[in-house]
């Protein structure tokens, strides 16, 4: 398996847990990038969706093979997570879209009541008859090893190459955080 560059999107309230995740699993990748959109970015007040997504791709997501959405209790409600997922799904000639997967952080591992970020959820299709993920994105519990996580990333890249995101996956960016 080639060493991949991955982008990590997460809710900053989970930052300590995210840093432990990165410490544990970063060695499975060429690079694990967890710096994302913040209030300091000049483009956050723009109403031009194309501009916002282009700037996120240029500044944070460019050159990565996949985005891992690390899920805590309130990740689904965060606008910057939504924007980073939309930027991952955006395709352009010089920087193609990335694979997309959601992974539970240990604090919620195994819970069935966790909401997915809506843009990720619309791109996940679970085939219960075949017991497999059939959509563009996948959803996983906390991994047991770096090799397991690396295989999930490889699977997300396969889905990226063989499936299309749901139509509208890069439009109507979340304007505000939702209450959790």
Q: The domain that contains 28 carries what CATH number?
A: 3.40.50.9200
- Which pLDDT score is estimated for 93? 82
43 domain-assigned: yes
| Residue 174 is assigned to a structural domain of this protein | no
Q: Is residue 154 part of a domain?
A: yes
Asked if residues 36 and 107 have their Cβ atoms less than 8 Å apart, the reply is no
- pTM, entire model: 0.91
Alpha carbon distance 98, 105 (integer Å): 21
The answer to whether 119 and 86 have CB atoms below 8 angstroms apart is yes
Give domain status of residue 180, yes or no: no
Short-list 13, 3, 31, 14, CA closest to 103: 14
Q: What is the pLDDT of residues 14-57, one digit of tens each?
A: 999 999 999 999 999 998 988 888 888 888 888 888 888 888 88
Q: Are the C-beta atoms of 12 and 38 separated by less than 8 Å? A: no
Residue 43, domain extent: 5-162
Q: How far apart are CA 49 and CA 172, in angstroms?
A: 8
Number of domains in the chain: 1
Q: Answer yes or no: is pLDDT of 128 > 60.
A: no
């Amino acid at each position: 398996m080639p060493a991949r560059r991955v982008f990590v999107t997460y809710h900053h309230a989970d930052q300590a847990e995210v840093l432990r995740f990165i410490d544990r699993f970063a060695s499975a990748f060429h690079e694990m990038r967890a710096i994302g959109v913040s209030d300091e970015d000049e483009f956050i007040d723009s109403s031009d969706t194309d501009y916002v997504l282009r700037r996120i791709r240029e500044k944070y997501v460019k050159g990565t093979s996949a985005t891992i959405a690390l899920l805590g209790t309130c990740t689904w409600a965060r606008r910057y997570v939504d924007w980073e997922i939309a930027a991952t799904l955006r395709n352009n000639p010089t920087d193609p879209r990335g694979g997309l997967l959601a992974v539970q952080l240990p604090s919620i591992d195994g819970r069935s009541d966790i909401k997915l970020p809506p843009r990720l959820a619309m791109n996940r299709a679970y085939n219960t008859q075949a017991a497999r993920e059939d959509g563009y994105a996948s959803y996983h519990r906390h991994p047991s090893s770096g090799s397991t996580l690396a295989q999930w990333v490889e699977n997300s890249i396969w889905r990226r190459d063989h499936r299309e995101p749901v139509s509208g996956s890069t439009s109507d960016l979340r304007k505000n955080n939702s209450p959790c």
